Structure 1
Amino acid sequence: MKVDQELDLKGEVCPYTFVKTKLALEMMEPGQVLQVIVDHLPAVENVPRSVTNEGHEVLNVGQVNDTDWEIVIRKAG
Structure 2
Amino acid sequence: MQRINIAEMPPHDRAIDITGETCPMTFVRTRLALDSLPEGAILLVRLTGTDPRANVPRAAADQGHDLLDMFDLDDGSAVLVIRKGTA
Q: What range describes the TM-score normalised by the shorter chain of this pair?
A: over 0.9
User: Residue 59 of structure 2 is aligned with which of 47, 50, 57?
Assistant: 50
Question: What one-letter code is carried by the residue in structure 2 that aligns with 1:31?
Answer: G
Aligned to 1:32: 41
Select 1:64's aligned residue among 68, 73, 85: 73
Partner residue of 1:21? 30
Question: Whole-Å Cα distance in 2 between the matches of residues 11 and 39 of structure 1?
Answer: 8
One-letter code aligned to 1:70: V
Where 2:69 maps in the other structure, the secondary structure is: strand
- Looking at structure 2, the residues matched to 41 and 60 of structure 1 have their Cα atoms a distance apart, in angstroms, of 17
Greater RCO, 1 or 2 (C-alpha within 8 Å, sep 6+): 1
Unaligned segments of structure 2, at least 5 residues: 1-9
- In the superposition, the TM-score normalised over structure 1's length comes to 0.93
Alpha-carbon distance in 1 for matches of 2:49, 2:20: 7
Residue in structure 1 matching 2:11, options 2, 9, 14: 2
Shift of 1:62: 1.5
Structure 1: which 5+ runs fail to align?
A: none
| RMSD across aligned positions (CA) | 1.0
Percent pairwise identity? 36
Q: List 4+ stretches of structure 1 deviating above 3 A.
A: none
